[in-house]
Structure 1
């Protein structure tokens, strides 16, 4: 498919059905720190009680741990009462000599990762995910981390993309057309594969991770949004707190070892100062900001405690003064064209 092809209408499913807030699965997969099975269960229960009905997970999160935990909770719920997305591209294989401790030291997984963006790999990945989850279907499938920032790929990301173009992409379209899934797209931290996939395939919903936050959003606003809008593609917004950075953590996005850029720390300080001036919680503002664009359908902040998940849900109901957003624009902390009110998809 080329850019001259007719715009897809499949994105309308996500726009019509996905709730505005979901629960991301990274923290429950023990990426940042140890979370017990009991604590994970309590967080999932709190999410359900708070009205969360969209759950995003991946084989990668905890190398199977997050999917097992989600499944332990969700298999007791009626399947037609919630939506779930998982990811393909990374198959798990148990081994006595695995690298689980290297990738996820807090997850205690016995698995290694095998990158596979072929059609057969997609089918195998979905089947494996359904077994770990203990459910019979996925709503959305994201092709995971097929991106220039993924240093674990066995070859250059564009070589892997070419494999997906011939394998994963048409297979996922086939699964969608057969009614096995509702939609598919990419779940990536960089814009290049998103823009490239629109030119060669017919995705209908992307997980736009680490690309639209109060810290960094200009490229997505001016380059990604117009193209997905033209093709009627929906966006699930991920890592809008930059993996907790905007709520006060000492990491930026997902690399805990990489030093945080001084300009990001300086910008956070300025954002926090204005937030204090207007008595606004910066986490609340960050989540609302990510949901304002008309192409955004859901935000999926992660949570490792019941308190975090209920606070995230409550954040969408808070009324933030217009003056706060105006002050951010006046001090050039957010782009002048960035939406500061909810624009329905």
Structure 2
């Protein structure tokens, strides 16, 4: 199993996710991560149609290669686009390149080679099959066997899968010798469903679990969740907004904040090897580093449990599996 740092940079935002990030800000963000001790960076061809990889590579090229873990993904190849409009998949970039799904063995090898060109680096450490939800058979037949061959050849150090849904990840962990699974938005203060199936399967297989989306795409990132906070990239349902606000109120009573609870809860389960935090500015990097360094009072977890504000399956810091 690859040794993963406890937290890392999720670099989707550096591909201009939802809004543009200036080049100098993207570079300053990666530099701030380095200064904060971050040595794990997750990117993908999907993020900004290659822009995230280009920016990450430019910022890391000057760093000692043996001192960081670089993770990218396969499943989408980038091909020339019309160049007359904007990306249609959530990134504020021109459509000079577009994505084509390809989970074949040839496509996977080509994807890694082209990622290396964009990164300007000699290797990636972790390669994940990315979002194969509608291509499960193709991923099983092509992508996973090819990544395992590439690991044997020494072209990548570790392989795995990254998805939002847990059921397919459980199947992949049980079928293939995977080093890492990245699950987004399925283990946090409002939804701990990844603990019911995926975490035990990964522990049995010796597969490291990495979490993304621990702020639930925005709702848990606010000390006081606003009415327009997003959950799973959409408007937050009223019941979840109320629950988040009640959690935030209890956090304040105990001298802490909702975002601090979110990051500390994410790291508490023994199956979780690392947590990826999406950041788009040096200020966000410093804010998140401070959250992780903050000492959260143990009393808040008991209060949340008593108020029935922790989801089933979520382990608070200091708790063990039942």
State the TM-score, normalized to the length of structure 2. Answer: 0.93
1:43 corresponds to 2:29: yes
Task: Work out whether 1:252 is the aligned partner of 2:238.
Answer: no
Once the two structures are superposed, the pairs formed by residues 74-85 of structure 1 within 5 Å of their partners are: 74-85=60-71
State the partner residue of 2:99: 113
1:242 partnered with 2:220: no
Cα deviation digits, residues 161-180 of structure 1 (max 9, x gap) = 11111100111111112222
Which structure has greater strand proportion? 2
Match of 1:294 among 270, 289, 299: 270
Superposition pairs of residues 81-160 of structure 1, within 5 angstroms = 81-96=67-82, 100-147=86-133, 157=134, 160=135
1:60 to 46, 56, 63: 46
> Higher mean Cα deviation, 89-98 or 108-117?
89-98
Partner of 2:291: 315
Equivalent in the alignment of 2:244: 268
Task: Give the match's secondary structure for 2:156.
Answer: coil
Residue 253 of structure 1, CA deviation: 4.8
Asked if the contact 1:34/1:106 (under 8 Å) is kept, the reply is yes
Measure how far apart 1:185 and its partner are: 1.1
Instruction: Give the CA RMSD over aligned residues.
Output: 1.8
Matched, 1:179 2:154: yes
TM superposition score normalised by structure 1: 0.87
Q: 1:310 to 1:36 in 2, by over 3 A?
A: same
What's 2:197 paired with? Answer: 223
The reply on whether 1:209 has 2:181 as its aligned counterpart is no
- Over 3 Å counting, the alpha-carbon distance change for 1:199 and 1:297 in structure 2 is closer
Higher relative contact order (CA 8 A, sep 6+): 1
Deviation digits for residues 177-204 of structure 1 (CA, Å, limit 9, x no counterpart): 2222121111101112101212332212
Unaligned runs of 5+ in 2: none
Gaps (5+ residues) in structure 1? 1-11, 148-156
Partner of 1:87: helix, strand, or coil? strand
- How far apart, CA to CA, are the structure 1 residues paired with 2:319 and 2:23? 38
| Distance (Å, rounded) in 1 between the aligned partners of 2:220 and 2:207 | 27
